[in-house]
Structure 1
Amino acid sequence: MALLVVIAPFMTTQSAQAASTLDIAAESAILVDAETGKILFSKNPDMKLPPASMTKMMTEYLVLEAIEAGKITWDTTTQISDYAYKISADISSSGTGLTQDVDYKVRDLYNAMAINSDNATTIALAELVAGSEGEFVKMMNKKGKEMGLPDFEFVNSTGLENADLGDNYPKGTEPDGINYMSARSSALLAYHLVNDHPEALEVSRVPQTEFDGHMIDNWNWMLPHDSVNFKQFYYEGVDGLKTGHTDLAGYCFTGTAERNGQRLISVVMKTDSIPARFKETAKLLDYGYNNFNSKELFPAGYQLKDKATIDVVKGKEDQVAIATNAPLTVPVQQGDEKNYTVTYHLDKDKLDKEGALVAPVKKGEKIGTAELVYKGEDAGYIFENKKHVVDVVATETVEKSNWFMLTLDAIGGFFADIFSSIVDMVKGWFN
């Protein structure tokens, strides 16, 4: 007991200082809560770097989007173009080896792309979805803007350098073009992928599968592989997401893990080896899970003490109660709960000049928003100008008063104004 009393303050200090002492051997890195997008750690997060095959996350997203829209299905078949076949025969890059004049299903091509990081199957899917890789690249950049990705540029679907594609580099791009993303944009892309299309994780978590008559391995060694060489990198809860490597990019990895209902997304860019990218990812995830817990700081139905009600005019009631319609939940560092407060932003268009609502008011009607405010330095969110808010709503209905009562109120108000004017005039006589 005495020993615990002595070391407890040091344990708390170590936890609080973990971010400042966390040494990540990568050119750029970031750790994000996958539910809220809150940044838990970052190192040079806005540095534009080649993402190598992490580019394929956008290809995965667009393929899944095309399936969701009904443009293609998992069982749609396609054949391999001369361009894709040439890439598949290049043993210097990720390749499973493809056969022409054979019908390949979208599901099999997607598995080879997402699990084995195959470049040729990626190109085949891009051509299927958009007609050509050049058109697909336009879709990639358009979607990146829609997502709000900062610091990015896509020039092909695979993450290779255009110079490696020879004369087949996508139309509309430069022959020496290079894909670029920052760690922040890679994390935001991963955020959209796992939240908009969680089925992507059903594939990315597969350590090994069969493709075209032979077994292919997942380059993510943090998954539960059978190989003794990979087991040292296993990390409980990891189920994705995408590795990457070129000479220019170094070794990259966008990882994601879920433990006790809390999902984190990590990115390391330009590490110096395959083991390094997984060791540094483990450091990030350890930091997140050891220091942050997702907590409901303010429950649904929370009311600010001085703003539990709001005035109502022209209604059968003079006031209506207002409260939050959803809980405010966020990853919180140990002992940091006291630094969070709530502030209201009421919708001015809903209020009259005196700041009152005008009846009728319906139960559940949005009156404004409640923002979670942190008192202190905060790394913020991966979204631009993101604020953690929920709606503030009326908790009951206030019906509009009938015409007779409104008339009486108007008459009463009229005479009240006259009386006030007379009082002011009389006071003026004696001043």
Structure 2
Amino acid sequence: MFIFIMKKKTILLRISTLLLVFGYAASIFAAVDAYAEEDILTITQNAGYETSDYYKPKASIVIEAHTGQVLWEDNPDLAWNPASIAKLMSAYLVFEAIAQGKFTLDTTVKATDSDQAISQIYELSNNNIVSGVDYPVRDLLYAVMVQSSNVATVMLANLVTANDEAKFIHMMNDKAKELGMTKSTFYNCSGADTASFNGYYNPAGIDQNADNVSTARDLAILSYHLLKEYPETVTYTSPTQITIMENTPYAEVLENHNYSLPGLAYGYEGADGLKTGSSPTGGFNYAATAVRGETRLIEVILGVGDWEDQNGELQRHAFGNAIFDRAFSTYEYKQLLAKGEQTIDQEDVILTQDLYGVIQKETQPNFTLSANQVTFDNGLSQVSSTISAPSVEFQYAKKLKALQHSTFLKNANQKNGLSTFFVNGLLIILGLLFMALSKLFKKEPAAGSAKKFNPLLILGVLLALAGVGLSIYTLIVGPWL
């Protein structure tokens, strides 16, 4: 009976232990699921911002700026009107034209009567433009990126295409395809439909009433390429306030609507761009970038609140700051492997350069050798199939060292061969020289006396024969040195 009771207790103990283990595992999975399902509204509220479901963005995404890997996404492929964020594509084409040498930042654009008329349309975001005045490209870029000026955008677009308004729209769409923005279509250069320009801006053959269409993913791809290829972009997106046309009668102070810039209402550490946008059909939108240490992030927030409630202009920054915080606290971009010898998958390899990548903090990635590339899996996807995941080339250490040794021997043999032929030739030349000297210093023997031994002649003959013999040996056998 005692034994039966003990066995029963043992069985109950094991069952209890198993239940505890399963319960613990279930709680872990539940926590993971809760973390995964935590939406942007909850994240923002937990970060201390006062907001509500009314302002919840329709779509959002965060990517790492060096690698283009997605750190957060919520409905990233929703088709949406990006409003003035479209100006980023116009800026891209301006920077591209500068890089191609078509004009410079100091090139001036003479304002037309139409430009002045556009600048006075109250419903559009603008800066002051006076007909006949020359405006430097640099100042117009500040007006576009800081003030979100529609007229400055039109002036730059016309500069790029020599006043072919429709051509610029086609360039925007062609560039979108080239960059991998698969769900974007542009109908205007600034984010405001062309009908709102009162006829002063009217690209031929383009629907005047159509809104630009893009997605959070596509706008993140655009921002990625803009910062990667033209990092000077942040020069024009980071000022909270700037004066253009200084020291002229047309000087004007511009105010930035990106309230997440340090020093403004929702100032965020490291924020230095990119662009805000709002419209009746798009609500309040926000494309942002911020850098901390080696890590730079890009985010896009679309569809915050409603155009009728201007509080959405501030709320978009609360959501943006909150998911930036989440990403910065979770991930980091850093050097993962140093150039040179490494051991990966139990193989000794030599990396051609340092490997950098983004990983979750306090974790170590698993590296893989594939073809001639070192890659790693961090569980993150690329924002676009056109952007490759981080990798570096490598060579197997044994093969490389064998190749280097073989090359060394080959080079050594070549050097030895040249040295050998040089010595062989030198021996022959010395031999001939001694034979010539032997004749020069030859003394005629006295009458009736025997011929004297001539050491110079003998030495010369021996040296010449040695040189010839060694040359034949080198040609048949190889270098003797």
Short-chain TM bin:
0.7 to 0.9
* Cα distance between partner residues in 2 of 1:139 and 1:15: 45
Aligned to 1:372: 376
* Cα distance between partner residues in 1 of 2:368 and 2:380: 20
Does the alignment pair 1:217 with 2:255?
Answer: yes
**TM-score normalised by structure 1 residue count:** 0.75
Q: CA deviation at 1:213?
A: 2.0
2:38 pairs with one of 21, 26, 34: 21
Q: Is the 8 A contact 1:245 1:252 kept in 2?
A: yes
Q: Is the 8 A contact 2:40 2:323 kept in 1?
A: no
2:359 pairs with one of 316, 332, 340: 332
2:178 pairs with one of 126, 131, 146: 146
**Paired residues for 1:32-51 under 5 Å:** 32-51=63-82
* Cα distance between partner residues in 2 of 1:298 and 1:17: 34
Q: Percent identity?
A: 29
Does the alignment pair 1:266 with 2:266?
Answer: no
Corresponding residue SS for 1:180: coil
* Cα distance between partner residues in 1 of 2:36 and 2:186: 32
Ranges in structure 1 where 5+ consecutive residues have no aligned partner: 1-9, 309-321, 347-367, 403-431
Q: CA deviation at 1:127?
A: 0.1
* Cα distance between partner residues in 1 of 2:252 and 2:158: 24
Aligned to 2:370: 345
Per the alignment, do residues 18 and 297 of structure 1 end up closer, same or farther by CA in structure 2, a change over 3 Å counting?
Answer: farther
**TM-score normalised by structure 2 residue count:** 0.68
Aligned to 1:351: none
Q: CA deviation at 1:16?
A: 9.3
**Paired residues for 1:288-307 under 5 Å:** 288-301=327-340, 302-307=342-347
Q: CA deviation at 1:162?
A: 2.8
* Cα distance between partner residues in 1 of 2:194 and 2:36: 38
Q: CA deviation at 1:60?
A: 1.1
Which string of whole-angstrom CA distances, capped at 9 and with x for unpartnered residues, describes residues 331-372 of structure 1? 2223443xx3222222xxxxxxxxxxxxxxxxxxxxx21221
Corresponding residue SS for 2:343: coil
Per the alignment, do residues 54 and 75 of structure 1 end up closer, same or farther by CA in structure 2, a change over 3 Å counting?
Answer: same
For 2:316, the aligned partner's letter is: R
Which string of whole-angstrom CA distances, capped at 9 and with x for unpartnered residues, describes residues 358-406 of structure 1? xxxxxxxxxx2122124xxx3401121643321123644354798xxxx
For 1:391, the aligned partner's letter is: E
* Cα distance between partner residues in 1 of 2:334 and 2:36: 20
Per the alignment, do residues 159 and 74 of structure 1 end up closer, same or farther by CA in structure 2, a change over 3 Å counting?
Answer: same
Q: Is the 8 A contact 2:274 2:288 kept in 1?
A: yes
For 2:212, the aligned partner's letter is: N
Corresponding residue SS for 1:181: coil
Does the alignment pair 1:185 with 2:218?
Answer: yes
* Cα distance between partner residues in 2 of 1:179 and 1:143: 14
Q: Is the 8 A contact 2:262 2:270 kept in 1?
A: no
Q: CA deviation at 1:42?
A: 0.2
Larger radius of gyration: 2
Q: CA deviation at 1:15?
A: 9.2
Per the alignment, do residues 398 and 179 of structure 1 end up closer, same or farther by CA in structure 2, a change over 3 Å counting?
Answer: farther
Ranges in structure 2 where 5+ consecutive residues have no aligned partner: 1-26, 42-55, 245-249, 306-311, 411-481
* Cα distance between partner residues in 2 of 1:170 and 1:128: 14
Corresponding residue SS for 2:332: strand
Structure that is richer in strand per residue: 1
Q: Is the 8 A contact 1:150 1:182 kept in 2?
A: no
2:91 pairs with one of 54, 60, 75: 60
Q: Is the 8 A contact 1:19 1:41 kept in 2?
A: no
Corresponding residue SS for 1:72: coil
Structure that is richer in helix per residue: 2
Return 297-306 or 177-186, whichever deviates more: 297-306
Q: Is the 8 A contact 1:52 1:252 kept in 2?
A: yes
Aligned to 1:73: 104
